[in-house]
Amino acid sequence: MFRPCIDLHNGQVKQIVGGTLDDSESPDTNFVSENDSAYYAELYRKDSLSGGHVIKLGPGNDEAAKNALKAWPGGLQIGGGINDQNARFWLDQGASHLIVTSHVFSNGQFDQGKLDELVKITGKGKLILDLSCRIRDGKYWIVTDRWTKFTETELNEKSLDFFSQYCDEFLIHAVDVEGMCKGVDMNLVELLTDKSPLISTYAGGAKSLDDLEKITNLSQNRVHLTIGSALDIFGGKDIKYTEALAFNNQYESSL
């Protein structure tokens, strides 16, 4: 299934090459929208396209994020700088789920106490753990801080099983191919299909409707696909938003 997204950088809707995000003001950017975050939220609401995520890529994005959530209360997830101090605020703003990575890791180490405190606020049902990863030495490692820092936690059957106790879904960007439109990392998709106890949303590299069909069929719809830079509403030339939406509608009607 296709999941929509709204990626925010400096208050604007953008599509960014994931591996270039750092503390600089100018990561490699594929697209900067003339439309604001509420425009996309209203589009997804009109088409009943739920389960999408709003990601704040660094500071300066709170107002844009709030505007998106206001445009479709209960229809969008929110991630980026979420912690136990602001979790209740973002739920009150209308987020269906909170997406968290960096807060539950400290200096590359998983922090059980921080995760426990967060779950006290959100419950399992409103928390999504972002286990976005990069490849190092032939293995997938969870990365934090806008995907720039490796943790010491490998993404594998053991970690997926452990983290599934605390959240409703996983969100996983294949950072090495994010924003490149060169094809998805099917090895990662297969890992999620075979080893994840939960529904996962995969993001990174999607370049055609064939990717969407292949992932949906391979995983029996246990892995959903976010399409960003290849989508025409984000300046892409390879996939039309209306086609991705039609795929969802057709798939759901076949169930």
Q: What confidence score (pLDDT) does residue 147 get?
A: 85
Q: What confidence score (pLDDT) does residue 40 get?
A: 98
Domain ranges of the chain: 2-254
Rounded to 10°, the helix 241-254/209-219 angle is 30
Q: What order of strands is seen across the sheet that includes strand 149-154?
A: 133-136, 139-144, 149-154
pLDDT tens-digit series, residues 32-85: 899 999 999 999 999 999 999 999 988 999 999 999 999 999 999 999 999 999
- CATH 3.20.80.10 for domain 2-254, yes or no, is no
**CA–CA separation, 79 and 53 (whole Å):** 7
Please choose, from the candidates 126, 171, 156, the residue with its C-alpha nearest in 3D space to the C-alpha of residue 5: 171
Per the listing, tokens 């890529």 go with 57
Q: How many CB atoms lie within 10 A of CB 139?
A: 11
Strand 52-56 with 5-9, pairing: parallel
How many Cα neighbours within 13 Å face the side chain of 201? Answer: 20
Element (H, E) at 193: helix 186-195
Q: What confidence score (pLDDT) does residue 218 get?
A: 96
Alpha-carbon Rg for the chain, nearest whole angstrom, is 17
Residue 136 to residues 40, 139, 151, 153, 254, Cα–Cα distance (Å): 35, 5, 11, 12, 40
Per the listing, tokens 């069929």 go with 217
Strands (E), the chain: 2-3, 5-9, 12-16, 29-32, 52-56, 76-79, 97-100, 105-106, 109-110, 127-130, 133-136, 139-144, 149-154, 169-173, 200-203, 223-226
Q: The whole model's pTM is what?
A: 0.92
Token pair listed for 4? 């929509």
Q: What confidence score (pLDDT) does residue 26 get?
A: 67
| pLDDT under 70: residue ranges of the chain | 17-27
